[in-house]
Amino acid sequence: MTLAPEVLRLDQITKRFGALVANDAISLVLRAGEVVALLGENGAGKTTLMNILFGQYVADQGSITAFGQPLPPGNPGAALAAGIGMVHQHFTLADHLSVLDNIMLGTRPLWSWRLNRRAAHDKVRALAHDFGLAVDPDARVGGLGVGQRQRVEILKALYRDARVLILDEPTAVLTPQEADALFTTLRRMVARGLSVIFISHKLHEVMAIADRCVVLRHGRVAGEVATRATSPAALAALMVGAEVLRPAPPPGTAGLSRMRLNGVTTPDAEGAPGLKAAMLDLCAGQITGIAGVSGNGQAALSDLVSGLIRPALGRLDIAGNPAPARWTPAAALAAGVGRIPEDRHKAGTIADFTLTENAVLETCRDAPFSRAGWINWRAARAHATAIIAKYDVRCPGPDTRIRLLSGGNMQKLILGRVLETAPVVVLANQPVRGLDIGAISYVHSQLIAARDRGAAVLLISEDLDEVMHLSDVIHVMSEGRISAPIPRGGATVAELGLRMAGEGFAHAA
């Protein structure tokens, strides 16, 4: 068998950020007409590698060759010009512009007089037809759903005649059905001799679409295998190293209802659906897991529990009584709701505040941290010091600004801030996103400990494995609706997947 010609070669790429070696002599070869999966956990170095390819970072060592030509480092335009397109995990689209404008952006010399929209329009239509990427070129991107936006991103690359397409976690935001449509498109592309790099950590997808798998671990290539010659278990072992599978925690014992959503509806906001007549009961001593593709109302649920929004319809009960009419974050805190927000950098902490200041952010109005409007910094500092010790926050001290901490240590401080108030309800929204394995198991063990102390824990996560591993009861969210409770072990992955795609809801919207 003769090998197809080489289209892209990354050679011994090394990139350091201070003491951290994000990429350690990574090599990767891509040939025409093949799909290569780039596998690895969060922080394994996938994103850094792609940023180097696209000139966002400059590698400390190593070189890149595209179609036989060396690619100049640090030039974002070079990879594009060489025929390499990328679909980022977070789409880079301008919402207020049309689909066509987004696709055409930067494709013509800046100083030419005409945009030539008609020709572009025709080309986009032809590409959309050829590759099964139905989308209206004249629609405004802001009004499109996630699946359609991804198609626009792919069209952007194809419009520039890309021969190599890189997809970063493309299915994280898709329903299983949308993901299938994406795979059909990818197969059509490969059949025409294009090449694809597919970045993911979802093993079954990789097994379904990839010809070869390159596995990264801690910035190094941990292994490279042909898909036909491997299994999900073997890939998992490569990804996590000698990691043993975690034993499931013992189930909790359900107590009284701590918080109840009684047919709660909230308005849609910024393209994300609100809650639709949601019923949910959070009981003491239980972890209630919310599974679902992100963008299906989890944000609204989290905001409601946090006190950021109020029910437009329906009722929110706390321990059997109606929640205060002025339901605010302060009211939620007063009602004993501890909140671990999804975005710890933007909502959970204030980057330029010290650990002490961040530790008392929620409690600074109360004794013992303040009296008659004056803060007792000594008490605050002692509190922060106690959290640092108890929750193993690795830091130079309580006077350090929190922006200097790693994500895991930042999360531990938030965890301590929440759990030290002995909350009756704990909201944990994507609590381990972007953390390393050690921090993940620590956060999980703390959530279980909180449950065992009698707290009602609400776990919202995109990671189905995490939800199934920790939850005593699972609800699935789809388009703002919340499914009936499913007890631990009461449904298979496939069944949950169908629910996530919107099937089997009692009240179809």
Partner 1 sequence: MRLEPIANPSAARRYGFPALALAATVLVASILSWIAGADPLATLGLIVTGATGSRLAILETLNRATPLIFTGLAVAVAFRAKLWNIGAEAQLYAGAVMTVVIGTSAWGMAWLQLPAMALAAVAAGALVLLGPVILKTRFGVDEVVTTLLFNFIMLLFVSWLVEGPMKDPAGMGWPKSTPVDRDLRLPRMVEGLRLHWGFGLAVLAALLIWLMQARSVLGFEMRAVGQNARAARFSGIAVTSVLLKTALISGGLAALAGFSEVAGLKGHLTRDLSPGFGYTGIIVAMLALLHPIGVVVAALFVAGIFVGSDSMSRAAGVPTYIADMLLAVSLLFMVLALGLARYRVAWT
Partner 2 sequence: MMALVDILISASFWAAAIRIASPLIFATLGELICERAGVLNLGIEGIMVMGAFTGWFAVYQGMPLWGGVAVAFGSGMLFGLLHATLTVPFGLSQHVVGLGVTLLATATASFAYRLALPQVTSPPRIDPFQPFAVPVLSDIPFLGPALFTQTALTYAAFGMAVVVGLVLYRTPLGLAVRAVGENPAAAAAQGLSVTGLRMGAVMFGSGLMAVGGAFLTLSAFSSFFFDMVNGRGWICIALVVFGAWRPGKAVLGAVLFAAFDAGQVRLQQTEIGAILPYQVFLALPFVLSIIALIVMSRRAEVPAALMVPYNKGER
* Minimum CB distance to partner 1, residue 364 (Å): 6
Regarding 404 and contact with partner 1 (CB under 8 A), the answer is yes
**What does 104 interact with, of partner 2, partner 1, none (CB < 5 to 8 A by kind)?**
partner 2
Regarding 109 and contact with partner 2 (CB under 8 A), the answer is yes
In 3-state terms, what secondary structure has residue 337? strand
Regarding 104 and contact with partner 2 (CB under 8 A), the answer is yes
- Give strand pairing partners of 482: 477
Q: How far is CA 408 from CA 117, 217, 395, in A?
A: 48, 18, 11
Q: Which of 28, 38, 50, 93 binds partner 2 (CB under 8 A)?
A: 93
Question: Phi and psi for 84 in degrees, rounded to 5?
Answer: -110, 125
**What does 341 interact with, of partner 2, partner 1, none (CB < 5 to 8 A by kind)?**
partner 1
Segment contacting partner 2 by CB under 8 A, of 92-100, 323-331, 391-399, 480-488: 92-100
* Minimum CB distance to partner 2, residue 357 (Å): 23
In 3-state terms, what secondary structure has residue 192? coil
* Minimum CB distance to partner 2, residue 400 (Å): 19
Q: Which of 61, 92, 184, 445 binds partner 2 (CB under 8 A)?
A: 92
Question: Phi and psi for 314 in degrees, rounded to 5?
Answer: 80, -175
Helices (H) and strands (E) in the chain, counts: 16, 23
Residues 4, 5, 6: CA angle, nearest 5 degrees:
120
Contact in structure between 402 and 351 (CB atoms under 8 Å): yes
- Rg (C-alpha) for the chain, rounded Å, is 25
* Minimum CB distance to partner 1, residue 328 (Å): 7
Question: Phi and psi for 356 in degrees, rounded to 5?
Answer: -60, -50
Contact in structure between 67 and 7 (CB atoms under 8 Å): yes
In 3-state terms, what secondary structure has residue 309? coil
Q: Binders of partner 2 among 146-205, rule CB under 8 A?
A: 156
**What does 402 interact with, of partner 2, partner 1, none (CB < 5 to 8 A by kind)?**
none
Token pair listed for 455: 């707290």
Segment contacting partner 1 by CB under 8 A, of 42-50, 272-280, 325-333, 473-481: 325-333
Q: Binders of partner 1 among 332-391, rule CB under 8 A?
A: 332-333, 339, 341, 346-353, 357, 361-362, 364-365, 370, 373-375, 377
Strand order in the sheet with 69-70: 20-31, 6-17, 61-66, 69-70
Binding mask 72-91 for partner 1 (x = CB under 8 A): --x-----------------
Regarding 330 and contact with partner 1 (CB under 8 A), the answer is yes
- The contacts of residue 308 (CB under 8 Å, 6+ apart) are 329
Residues at the contact surface with partner 2, assessed by CB under 8 A: 54, 56, 76-77, 80-81, 86, 88, 92-97, 101-102, 104-115, 156
Residues at the contact surface with partner 1, assessed by CB under 8 A: 58, 74, 306-308, 328-330, 332-333, 339, 341, 346-353, 357, 361-362, 364-365, 370, 373-375, 377, 401, 403-404
